[in-house]
Structure 1
């Protein structure tokens, strides 16, 4: 078999793998969003202002947790879990400098303290309102750590 046939086969394999990966990412997002209560949210483990460290993702509300999944991941497990009583929101601001290009257009950035080590969240104003409502609506007897 000539060498160029091997190259064509290898190229076909790579194209098929990329197509399957894109199909899996789309299917995964639809599967995660099926349960409802999902929104786009970016996270950053750094508390500093520069754009370094932002990761795009999808947040899903559960009963007592907010689960965060990376957008470009094949895993069905959440990367971070934010427990309702352990999340503290410290303030909100608009993206500045190169952060404007690191987060989605129209998103606000909120500072947070939580057990997962994430220090900043970026989400739309409507999603922020929903998150604050979810944090405040904890069952009686649980503490609420929201400060804004």
Structure 2
């Protein structure tokens, strides 16, 4: 009987954890301005290191939240100031195992370090508009040193 109780408690805890993850995603998405976005957290192994998440536009910030995380805050924050798109490309064969085939990978440079993000082609248009919509005076060669290249 103790084994059955233990299994029942474990199932209940698992369902509660899944409910918390679902509610967290619902709260983030309900605030509006969200897109599905993958971020490459590690570049140690080619084609690996991608993590799925939701990104929310909040003024001059793009706040990225991991899908499978209990942390209420964003894991990464990209600010529009000093952010430049260096190039875009399609996922290679190894990346297609974790990313949808219709997604585009964009390499961005910000003041800290380069970052690769992946998103749907439809979301890319909005992202590029957001990057270029910086207030006057912020789009100088010092803050945007790289040109956008395809391929």
Taking structure 1 as the reference length, what is the TM-score of the superposition?
Answer: 0.88
Q: Does 1:88 align with 2:73?
A: no
Greater alpha carbon shift after TM alignment, 109-118 vs 129-138:
109-118
Q: Does 1:41 align with 2:37?
A: yes
Q: Which runs of 5+ in 1 are unaligned?
A: none
Cross-structure match for 2:6 = 10
Q: In the TM superposition, what is the alpha-carbon distance from 1:118 to its structure 2 partner?
A: 5.4
Q: In the TM superposition, what is the alpha-carbon distance from 1:138 to its structure 2 partner?
A: 1.3
Count of matched residue pairs: 144
Cross-structure match for 2:123 = 127
Q: In the TM superposition, what is the alpha-carbon distance from 1:111 to its structure 2 partner?
A: 1.1
Q: Out of 103, 128, 138, which is 2:99 matched to? A: 103
| CA deviations over 1:31-58 (Å, ceiling 9, x no partner) | 0011111000001134578221000010
Give 1 or 2: higher strand fraction: 2
Give 1 or 2: higher helix fraction: 1
| CA deviations over 1:88-133 (Å, ceiling 9, x no partner) | 2111111111111121341111112224545211001111111110
Runs of 4+ in 1 over 6 A off after TM superposition: none
Q: 1:52–1:28: structure 2 CA closer, same or farther, 3 Å change rule?
A: same
